[in-house]
Amino acid sequence: MLDASDSYVTEDGRTIGGVVMEMKNITLRFGGVVAIKDISFDIRQGEIRAIIGPNGAGKSSMLNVISGFYNPQEGQVFYKGKLRPSMRPYQVARQGIARTFQNIALFEGMTVLDNIMTGRLHHSKANLFEQAFWKGRAEREEVANREVVEKIIDFLEIQTIRKTPVGRLPYGLKKRVELARALAAEPSILLLDEPMAGMNVEEKEDMSRFILDVNDEFGTTIALIEHDMGVVMDLSDRVVVMDYGKKIGDGTPDEVRNNQDVIDAYLGVAHD
């Protein structure tokens, strides 16, 4: 087994670093319902880490714990080697963790460009007064932010819809815009909640390519939840499998695929 600080090189030539985020014995309850039961796993620098499981397994809850939206009742989250105290989501975002949502959460009336610009919020320091008068720092920052955003627009090939209001876009493109906004924050960890839900095969292929390219070009660590097993197995370096709030498998796609508990969870067995 690898140590937390070890790094290795994957078959396709990417370098995966040491552990950047670690979940230790996380338990999350909503009243009497236990959504996550004593789960531990880690995410390594530069890897694509998938969380899979049947409906209601607790995947989204797990992602929400990582993004700081939920604070677990038990367990600890270590980020870059330090214990992370309970935080508000915006504080987590400032630490370099960005996410997309299962049900797209964009500003429908705003243009694609403006939506993506909101992802730069944490990179602007100008105050309200400066913003209002568009002087000095505000202007410089806006120009710098726009440059970053334009690179992302180019990267995700959405130049055509730059000035289109998001409400007019088809579903697949909205997903891409949401990814763009998350990327605009220049995150070190990117959380994707079902990035391919509801897409057709072609859109899924495009999205897979973008996820791989993001990981490859920017070295962004990616944690994603996905239902489509084919996609997960192709994309990810390591997979966590959850069922009924418990972790039932963890390892490379091949290991997970041959894990009897995982097969049972997906194909179904009688529960006692």
Stretch 139-158 residues interacting with another protein (CB under 8 A): 146-147, 150-151, 153-155, 157
For another protein, which stretch binds (CB under 8 A), given 95-103, 118-126, 211-219, 260-268? Answer: 211-219
Dump the DSSP string for 216-260: HHH--EEEEE-S-HHHHHHH-SEEEEEETTEEEEEE-HHHHHT-H
Check residue 6 for interaction with another protein (CB under 8 A). no
The gap from C-alpha 42 to its chain's centroid, in whole angstroms, comes to 14
Distance (Å, whole) CA 32 – CA 115? 38
At residue 15, the 3 state secondary structure works out as strand
**Of the two residues 17 and 89, which places its CB atom closer to another protein in the complex?**
17
Distance (Å, whole) CA 242 – CA 226? 12
Check residue 213 for interaction with another protein (CB under 8 A). yes
- Binding residue (CB under 8 A) for another protein from 217, 267, 268, 270: 217
- Binding residue (CB under 8 A) for another protein from 1, 3, 13, 32: 13
Q: Considering CB under 8 A, how many residues would be counted as binding another protein?
A: 19
**Of the two residues 122 and 162, which places its CB atom closer to another protein in the complex?**
162
Find the shortest distance in angstroms from Cβ 135 to another protein: 22
Check residue 84 for interaction with another protein (CB under 8 A). no
- Binding residue (CB under 8 A) for another protein from 203, 216, 261, 264: 216
Is 170 within 8 Å of 161 (Cβ atoms)? no
- Binding residue (CB under 8 A) for another protein from 7, 71, 91, 159: 159
Check residue 264 for interaction with another protein (CB under 8 A). no
**Of the two residues 173 and 224, which places its CB atom closer to another protein in the complex?**
173
Burial of 152 (0-12, 13-18, 19+ CB in 10 A): buried
First to last CA, the chain: 34
Distance (Å, whole) CA 81 – CA 85? 13
Distance (Å, whole) CA 105 – CA 42? 27
Binding site for another protein (CB under 8 A): 12-14, 113, 146-147, 150-151, 153-155, 157, 159-160, 162, 209, 213, 216-217
